Every structure is written in structure tokens, then in C-alpha cells.
Structure 1
Amino acid sequence: MAESVAKVARKVNEAVETGAQHLDLSSCALNSFPTGLYFVMRSVSDKILSISLANNELKTLGGTFFTTFTQLQELNLEGNLLEKLHAEICNLPNLKSINLCRNKFATFPEELIRIPSLETINLESNEITDIPVDELNSMPHLSSVNVQMNPINKDSLNQGNIKFELAM
């Protein structure tokens, strides 16, 4: 535990001191985003364009995260325990890529449809059975959706009209 805390502190301090555009807190045994980091990172949060929280134990990511890091273009939440996304994720107007593979989503996270800047969605290895193709088709910049290793009901999927690359 102490080692994980030290690792987080080291990575956050480095990002603050260098004004980095990327924050990597992957594999830090986090079960939530540490509240104190919002205060520590307030001077650089608008410069952070990419965050990786991959391979942690996150069950949720609160709205404060999405209202703090408003300039995010890439978000990697791979390998966590997420079942849903907070509605505040819609407040990321520049988000282009989100990696949600190897989580616990049983349904497609509809909040993603309300982020018109999204280009790439990775939901590989979840528990999703249906995807909203029509809504995804209406997303102006969407180019790729990966839903491999999900129990997708392919019979209910209208694949003839898909305007983006769909990996199943």
C-alpha cells in the first residue's frame, strides 16, 4: 500500500513540476481517484491531455474527475472494475479516444454517444450484449469501435449501415 501511495505521489509531482501533458497512474492499486490530487493538480489540470488509470481497481470515477481534467483528449481506463460512467464525462469536449476494455460493463455506456469529438471507443472484453449502432452512426468523428470479446447479440445488429470500423 505504501509503495503504491509513493508511486502515485512521485508521478503526480513529476507531472506538476514538468507541466506534463500526460498523467500515468496505471497499476497503482487505486480503487478511486485520490481526492487530494484535485487540489495538488489544479495548476496543471487544464494542460493534461492524456490520463492513464489502467490496471487499477476503480469501481467508479466521480464527476469531479471529469470537471477537473476538461481538456482530456485520451483516457485509458483499461483493466478496472467499472460498470458505468459518470454523466459528467459528457463535459469532455476534446475527448478523442477512450479505452474501457477489460471492465465490467453489461451495457454500452450511453454517455459516450453524447461526446461528439470521440473518434475511438474500445470496449473489448466486457459483458455488453447490444450496441446502439444508429446513435453511434450519428457521431460525426467516430471512426472505430472495438467490442471484441463481448457477448454481442449479432442477430439484432444492423451491420449493413455502419459508418465506422466495428471490431467484433
Structure 2
Amino acid sequence: MDWPNAVFEVIDTRSFSSLWFWIALAVTWSMASHWVLGVPYDMVARAARRGGAAAHDLEEMVRINVDRTLYIARAGGLWLVGALSFALTMLALLGFLYRVEVAQALFCLLLPLSLVWVMGLRAARRIRAGALTGDALRRELRAQRLFTQAVGMLAIFLTALWGMYQNLSRLPLAG
């Protein structure tokens, strides 16, 4: 028995059956839910616990990231939306019309992330418009994190279902 061939027969290197894809998916959503509007969530928890300098640091970090996000949206928002729409459309067509599995995997990763990005932009606008500080700011960041986690869980679940379908559809039928 040739062990390398046996291993590669069991674990093929396509996207949905690749361990690296699933690690990348988990790390991506873990990072997305930890970094809310570019601010690590432990800063939010520390500011709520300690107040004072920790709360001031959080407010300054959020202000910097909100200003940066809104500047990028103002300066190149239409170009970003156009490029993202083009990329997602291209991945959807390549993946689901032409059955390119890597494109399917990237689409399953990028579509929900783009939704989280849009909601982050809306949260940044709400923070700027309301000049949120203190508890109101932490509530907004918590809500954004909860939304990100919900989208991430749904995305992982649907990606896993699609990946299982893809892997099972390649199995030879017994007959």
C-alpha cells in the first residue's frame, strides 16, 4: 500500500475538502468578530470594566478608525463598491456557472464579509453623527460585534453545507 497516494485519495486538495480553507475561514471570522471597526474588542471590555483612561483610549481609537473609514468611503467609495461588485459577480459566475470550486469558496468567504463591511460603515456613520461616547459607544460596538458574529456563524454554516454537498457529490455512487 502506497501511503502518500492513500492519503491524497482520502483528502483531496480542492477548496472545500482542504483543511487550509477551513482554517482560513475560521481565522477570518474570528478576526472579524474580534476587531470591531478596527478596534480590538478587549479594549471595549476593558473600558467598560475600568473606565477612566481605558475608556478615553477606546474613544480615541474609535474616533481615529471611524474618521479613517469614513474618509476611505468618501474618497473611493464608488470605486470600492464597483470593484467589490465586479469581484463578487466574477466569483459567482466562475464558481456556480462554470463550477470552479476555488471561486465558490472565495465567494462564500467574501460575500458575508462585504455585508459586515457595509454594516461597519453604517455603524461608523452612526457613531460620527451621534458623536457617541461612553456607554452609547460601547453599545454600538457590541451591537456591531454581535451582528458580525451572527453573520459569521451563518456564513460558516452555509459554507459547510455547500462544502459537504460538493464533497459528497464527487463520491462514486454504489451500484
**TM class, shorter-chain normalised?**
under 0.3
User: Which structure has the highest strand share of the two?
Assistant: 1
Q: Which has the higher helix share?
A: 2
Which structure has more relative contact order (CA 8 Å, sep 6+)? It is 2
- Tell which structure's C-alpha radius of gyration is larger: 2
What TM-score do you get using the length of structure 2 for normalisation?
0.20
TM-score (norm 1): 0.20
